[in-house]
Amino acid sequence: MAGKLGLKLGRANLEEFADTLQVLATVDRSIVAVTSDSRGSGKLAPFGKALPRQIIEVGIAEQNLVGITAGLSACGKKAFGVSPSCFLTARSLEQIKNDLCYSDVPGVLVGISAGVSYGALGSTHHSLHDFAALRAISNITIIAPADNFETREAVRFAAIAAHPVFLRFGKAAMYDVTPAGTRFEAGRAVTLRDGHDVAFLANGETVVHALLAAANLADAGIAARVVSVHTVKPLDLSTVLATGRDCRVVITVEEHMVHGGLGEAVAAALLTAGLKPAFRSVGIPDEDTVTGAQADIFRHYGISMERLAATARELLKGRTSGSC
Amino acid sequence: MPTDQELLLKSFALRRRMLRLIHHAGAGHTGGGLSCLDILSVLYHRVLSISPESVDSPTRDRYVQSKGHCVEALYTVLADRGYFPDSDLDTVCRYGSKYVGHPTRKVRAIEMNTGALGHGLPICVGMALASKMDGDAFRVFTLLGDGELAEGSNWEAAMAAAHHRLDNLTAILDHNTLQITGPTRDVMSNEPLDAKWRTFGWEVRSTNGHDYAALSAALTAPHPGRPLFVIANTVKGKGVSFMENVARWHHGVPNDDELKRALAELEDAEAKCREGSP
């Protein structure tokens, strides 16, 4: 199906991140990567070899990683703290809240192997809370890029941002979903495909599934809009609200628990604006997550072309029952 | 640079000012403020390469107060050193004031927002690494509390500082041996402090935290290849007889009578000190 849409398979966003950071750091010597025994999993081994004076190892100590990232950032360095998102955004939450966000230093945190990238390793290694936890903290931009283009641009944005930024990457190779000529702007969602029946608002590694579902629906004469809401915070209100005005059905899709992430952010925005399209938040439900690879978990919880298309048809027919 | 005697004489006024601040604010950490005040005085008069004129210089020494709850002592010393007007101290903790009850960067010369314990040392490791990357551009200091050492993040940072050979980093322990519940040895013993920090790869010095000459020597002698841990032996509530070594003054706020008695004691002590001055 991806081939039918003409989508080209790129590489893992994590690899794109590491290469982009190395290119930037070669020019801007103030850029520093901070790792917690994570340079391999963060694809930063080449960075370390090429720029050994710009990478700092802190060992398996995520609280220290964030504190050090903040200290570097307060002293003129552009520090990127890189660690698995599951540990980075849970164990170090107080350091993120106080050392980076409250102190307002321009550090960047990179949550690698996010969501259910570590699939079968279990919930210790899942980060299904990170959007929710960080959304509740003032002064941080939260970005989950969909493809290599969004990744590259998000890293470039983060490298010059004046305030804290959280970047979230998975491990799987990503299809290039962004149309050529698209301009990336943090906080500005990208409409990948237009339509006025259904809107899929998705981010990160789920976007391609929404795009495929839209193509599937088109075969049945249903026009679906697909928006990559790469920035969860600040939310692009005008684009989100336009979907609520233009489309009968709005479906959010995210690799995150249904509590506190993109879905609830969009729902709150729509309701606050008085917009009440048929709505469904697709994500990981509040339960003991099923065991399996990322693809298994996605299918199990309805993040797939077939299930997203079915959800859209169901909502269009007015059958809106189901968990949210 | 003020002499030891000048610092001692000044300390009575600083203690009185801090107590009036806490009384006025209706909140604060009196005991710890009195125990760390002499350390702050030595830092800002003799150790840190910083002044109101150089407060924004990239090469200024950095001080991060990890035991952020003793901010009243820091505000008092900073006001005295001319970073902001003394009258600002009357706004601490007041509605809309930038002088929050823990350190905040909104206040001039304060480097980081602290107050949750166990954060200062990791931040300082990052700062010291930044300094190393820039050719040892500045030194970094932090102040820790006894109870704070139970936070595991300190030990993560202690390992990292030694691993990266951060000899531009100094951590000072305000070792008054009391915390909110009572003696630290009863709550969560942190002894033997010197052996622990040495084992972690630090240079360790123990000194009287109210002796200006000894503190100055401990804080300024080089410690090549290793970070420095200074155990500053202090008295919680130092300078006010009924506050000294009493845990309830951890965050006790003097009432009108207690303030009056405390100020009188400090005035008497200052007068005696002046009589004995050459």
**pLDDT averages per 10-residue partition of chain B, 278 residues:** 96 98 96 98 98 96 97 98 98 97 97 98 98 96 98 98 98 96 94 97 98 98 98 98 94 96 98 83
φ/ψ of residue A259, rounded to 5:
-90, 125
Q: For B87-122, how does the pLDDT look when each residue is reduced to its tens digit (9 = 90+)? A: 999 999 999 999 999 999 999 999 999 999 999 999
Tell me the C-alpha distance between A290 and A300, whole Å. 8
Tell me, rounded to whole angstroms, the distance of Cα A167 from its chain centroid: 7
Domain hosting A130: range is 9-175
Q: pLDDT for A171-185, tens place per residue?
A: 999 999 999 999 999
The angle formed by the CA atoms of residues B251, B255 and B259, to the nearest 5 degrees, is: 95
**Residue of B113, B157, B163 lying closest to A67 (CB–CB):** B157
Which pLDDT does position A324 carry in this prediction?
43
Q: Hey, are the CB atoms on B121 and A67 less than 8 Å from each other?
A: yes
Same domain, A138 and A196: no
What residues of chain B lie within 8 A of the CB of A98, using their CB? 113-116, 119
- Residue that terminates a domain, selected from A152, A175, A198: A175
**One-letter amino acid for residue A314 of the chain:** E
Which residue in B has a C-alpha nearest to residue A74's C-alpha? B127
State the burial class of residue A70 (Cβ atoms within 10 Å of its Cβ: 0-12, 13-18, 19+): buried
Same domain, A154 and A201: no
**Rounded CA gap, B198 and B185, in Å?**
20
Q: Say whether both A108 and A202 belong to one domain.
A: no
Contact B260, B266 (CB under 8 A): no
Q: What is the pLDDT of residue B278?
A: 55
Q: Is A61's CB within 8 Å of B156's CB?
A: yes
Nearest to A24 by CA among A76, A66, A78: A78
Q: Which residues of A lie inside 8 Å of B (Cβ-Cβ)?
A: 32, 53, 56, 58-59, 61, 63-64, 66-77, 79, 94-95, 98-99, 102-105
Residues A24, A110: one domain?
A: yes
Paired with A185 in beta bridges are: A188
Residue A162, in any domain of the structure: yes
| A321 has a pLDDT exceeding 50 | no
Last residue of some domain: A144, A175, A206?
Answer: A175
Give strand pairing partners of B199. none
> In chain A, which residues have their Cβ closer than 8 Å to the Cβ of B116?
94, 98
* Nearest-by-Cβ selection for B122 from A68, A102, A103: A68
State whether B122 and A53 contact (CB < 8 Å). no
Spans of all domains in chain B? 4-275
Nearest CB partner across the interface for B116, out of A58, A71, A94: A94
Q: Choosing among B60, B123, B155, which should be mutated to test the A contact, i.e. which has the most A CBs within 10 A?
A: B123
**Minimal CA separation from B89 to chain A, in Å:** 21
B55 touches chain A (CB under 8 A): no
In a domain, A3, yes or no: no
B122 reaches A (C-beta below 8 A): yes
Domain shared by A44 and A108, yes or no = yes
Q: What is the mean pLDDT of the segment spanning A246-266?
A: 98
Dump pLDDT digits (tens) for A105-151. 999 999 999 999 999 999 999 999 999 999 999 999 999 999 999 99
> Do A276 and A143 share a domain, yes or no?
no
Do the domain assignments include residue A66? yes
A51-64 per-residue burial string, b: 16 or more CB within 10 A, e: under 16: beebbbbbeebbbb
Asked if A99 lies within 8 A of B123 by C-beta distance, the reply is yes
A322 has a pLDDT exceeding 50: no
Per-residue model confidence (pLDDT) at position B277:
65
Identify whether A274 is part of a domain: yes
The verdict on A46 and A170 lying in the same domain is yes
Inter-chain CB proximity A72 and B115 less than 8 Å: no
Q: How far is CA B102 from the centre of its chain?
A: 13
The verdict on whether omega for the bond into residue A234 sits within 30 degrees of 0, i.e. cis, is yes
Work out the percent of chain A whose per-residue pLDDT is above 90: 94
The mean predicted confidence, pLDDT, of chain A is 96
Average pLDDT over residues A228-252: 98
Asked if A125 and A208 sit in the same domain, the reply is no
The CATH number that domain B4-275 falls under is: 3.40.50.970
Please give the residue of chain A at the shortest CA–CA distance from B106. A103
Instruction: Verify that A56 and A148 share a domain, yes or no.
Output: yes
Provide the pLDDT confidence category of residue A5 given band limits of 50, 70 and 90. Answer: confident
Contact B130 A70 (CB under 8 A): no
Report the C-alpha gap between A160 and A156 in whole angstroms: 7
pLDDT in the model for residue B197: 98
Buried b (16+ CB within 10 A) or exposed e, B133-172: beeebbbbbbbbbbbbbbbebbbbbbbbbbebebbbbbbb
Last residue of a domain, one of A146, A175, A204: A175
Q: How far apart are the first and last CA of chain A?
A: 28
Q: Are residues A127 and A36 in the same domain?
A: yes
At A99, give phi and psi (nearest 5°): -75, -35
In this prediction, residues A221-231 reach a mean pLDDT of 98
Residue of B112, B142, B151 for testing the chain A interface, max A β-carbons within 10 Å? B112
Instruction: Establish if B98 touches chain A: CB-CB under 8 angstroms.
Output: no
Element (H, E) at B11: helix B4-25
Which of B38, B176, B77, B62 lies closest to B121 in space, CA to CA? B62
Q: Which phi and psi angles does A279 have, rounded to 5°?
A: -135, 145
Which residues in chain B touch residue A58, judged by CB atoms under 8 angstroms apart? 156, 160
Strand-pairing partners, residue B249, are none
pTM of the model: 0.96
Nearest to A123 by CA among A112, A115, A135: A115
Q: What is residue A323's predicted lDDT score, i.e. its pLDDT?
A: 44
Residue A196 sits in the same domain as residue A169: no
Q: Is the pLDDT of residue A320 over 70?
A: no
**pLDDT value, residue A288:** 96
User: For the residues A55-70, what does the mean pLDDT come to?
Assistant: 98
Q: What is the pLDDT of residue A2?
A: 76
Number of domains chain A is built from? 2
Are both A128 and A264 inside the same structural domain? no
Domain with residue A228: its CATH number is: 3.40.50.920
Q: Which amino acid is at B208?
A: N
User: Cβ–Cβ contacts within 10 Å for residue A286, how many?
Assistant: 11
Closest by CA to B215, choosing from B23, B62, B36, is B36
**Which residues of A fall within a CB distance of 8 Å from B163?**
59
- Complex prediction ipTM: 0.96
Strand order in the sheet with A165-168: A55-57, A31-35, A78-84, A108-112, A165-168, A141-143, A231-233
Please say whether the beta carbons of A286 and A259 come within 8 A.
Answer: yes
Distance of residue A63 Cα from the nearest chain B Cα, in angstroms? 6
Put simply, whether B62 touches A (Cβ < 8 Å) is: yes
Average pLDDT over every residue of A28-55: 96
Across A76-86, average pLDDT: 98
Contact B116/A77, CB-based, under 8 Å? no
Number of Cβ pairs < 8 A linking chain A and chain B: 100
